[in-house]
Amino acid sequence: MADRKIGKIDQEIFTTFLLSRLGKSDDTVIVPPMTGVDAAVIDVGNDKVLVIAEDPIFAIPHQPLDMFGWYTVHIGASDVAVMGVKPRYMTYSLLMPPETNEVDFRTILDAIHSAALELEIAIVGGHTGYYPGFAAPTIGGVTVFAIADKHGYVTPAGATPGDDVILTKGPAIETAGILAVIKEKELLKRYAPALVERAKALCRQMTVVADALLAMDAGGVTAMHDATEGGVIGGLYEIASASGVGMEIHEEAFIYPDEVRIVCETFGIDPVAAIAEGSLLITVRPDRSANVISKLRSEGIDASIIGKVTDDVETRTIKRRDGSVNQLAIPKQDPFWPAFFDSLSS
């Protein structure tokens, strides 16, 4: 167990083992589970589809429980929004240690309720209870779903040669935000308090609901993907693989906030490979990319064109800022998780 990868199971196990164990085959499942695809799509008739996604959510040490409630809604909703669909309904299972006090319990539920109101999502079910074995409140699963037109959604498999590739906010948003909260004292030994506070504030950017819906509204979007585990380099690989295309990416074109840089440099983390909830990857027709970026920036979301989709499936590369060229790939180990768990034990 000590050598087991932390985080999601390996892609090989997913494809060779899990995908052959999905219960009964059903022709109404249009988009089934697959690597890099954020939500399932089910044909419900009358030219409508159900778009549905699920995630677990963990409380972050040293962070208020209202943020835990906010994450629950926004992280779950992001997986539906990246399909180009406005999230509408959700269920969640809140599992708490028996010693959880009443104030904490109410704080979590109030925060989930408030975030759902903010995103206009109806909470329609779930499970809430106290169970031994949990060290902190945990969302066993948040399920977010919506009904959409049958041809009114996108998937990470839709990128086409010639598309521009856009990244919002920059890489490693989640990594930098969470580690800044947990390792604040260490960062304050090296950097000004205002900069560390900006890094901590990245936690409020760990959502792509607005990013995705604004991009869809601007038009021309062919694929979107939330750069979660494996970071931007993993997310780009997943889009390229799902779409059967090549990519040529340039790290120099990334937005790279100072608050991301200082956290990644301090803890020796490659920002391109680290978990990046909040960093949205978008492929878009080149005649619409300026509109997408303008629409995002009008709502305070920075974005940049970081490369091109090509028809050369043998070339899926990222030119790093130091001039080296790496292949797009899912990292064997997301560097965030070891740093996160090491910080909890120190």
CATH classification at residue 204 = 3.90.650.10
Res 343: pLDDT: 74
Res 1: pLDDT: 39
pLDDT 10s per residue in the chain (346 long)? 346 777 888 888 999 999 999 999 999 999 999 888 889 999 999 999 999 999 999 998 889 999 999 999 999 999 999 999 999 999 999 999 999 999 999 999 999 999 999 999 999 999 999 999 999 999 999 999 999 999 999 999 999 999 999 999 999 999 999 999 999 999 999 999 999 999 999 999 999 999 999 999 999 999 999 999 999 999 999 999 999 999 999 999 999 999 999 999 999 999 999 999 999 999 999 999 999 999 999 999 999 999 999 999 999 999 999 999 999 999 999 999 989 888 776 5
Q: Looking at the structure, tell me whether residues 99 and 238 fall in a common domain.
A: no
CA neighbours within 13 Å on the CB side: how many for 71?
24
Q: Looking at the structure, tell me whether residues 144 and 222 fall in a common domain.
A: no
Q: Is residue 2 part of a domain?
A: no
CB of 155 closer than 8 Å to CB of 31: yes
Q: How far apart are CA 267 and CA 176, in angstroms?
A: 10
Q: Is residue 65 part of a domain?
A: yes
CB of 267 closer than 8 Å to CB of 182: no
**What letter represents residue 336's amino acid?**
F
pTM: 0.94
Q: Looking at the structure, tell me whether residues 18 and 123 fall in a common domain.
A: yes
Q: Looking at the structure, tell me whether residues 260 and 185 fall in a common domain.
A: yes
Res 8: pLDDT: 84
Q: Looking at the structure, tell me whether residues 129 and 221 fall in a common domain.
A: no
Q: Where are the alpha helices (DSSP H) in 154-230?
A: 173-182, 184-188, 193-201, 209-218
Q: Looking at the structure, tell me whether residues 72 and 184 fall in a common domain.
A: no
Res 153: pLDDT: 97
Domain end call among 123, 149, 175: 149
Q: Looking at the structure, tell me whether residues 227 and 301 fall in a common domain.
A: yes
Residue 119: domain span: 11-149
Q: Is residue 217 part of a domain?
A: yes
Q: Looking at the structure, tell me whether residues 184 and 127 fall in a common domain.
A: no
Q: Is residue 326 part of a domain?
A: yes
Q: Looking at the structure, tell me whether residues 74 and 195 fall in a common domain.
A: no
Domain end call among 126, 149, 172: 149
Category of 268 on φ-ψ map: left (φ > 0), alpha (ψ -120 to 50) or beta = left
- Per the DSSP assignment, residues forming a β-bridge with 308 are 164, 248
Q: Looking at the structure, tell me whether residues 141 and 173 fall in a common domain.
A: no
Res 346: pLDDT: 58
Q: Is residue 1 part of a domain?
A: no
Domain end call among 121, 149, 177: 149
Q: Where are the alpha helices (DSSP H) in the chain?
A: 11-16, 65-81, 102-118, 173-182, 184-188, 193-201, 209-218, 231-243, 258-266, 289-298, 336-345
Residue 100 sits in a domain whose CATH number is 3.30.1330.10
Q: How far apart are CA 234 and CA 327, in angstroms?
A: 10
Please provide residue 131's backbone torsions phi and psi, each rounded to the nearest 5 degrees: -145, 130
Number of domains in the chain: 2
CA neighbours within 13 Å on the CB side: how many for 277?
24
Q: Looking at the structure, tell me whether residues 257 and 295 fall in a common domain.
A: yes
Q: Is residue 4 part of a domain?
A: no
Q: Is residue 238 part of a domain?
A: yes
Q: Looking at the structure, tell me whether residues 217 and 341 fall in a common domain.
A: yes
- In this structure, the number of other CB atoms found within 10 A of the CB of residue 341 comes to 11
* 15-28: burial string, b at 16+ Cβ within 10 Å, e else: eeeeeeeeeeeeee
Q: Is residue 242 part of a domain?
A: yes
127-156 tens-digit pLDDT: 999 999 999 999 999 999 999 999 999 999
Tokens coding 75 = 């992280």
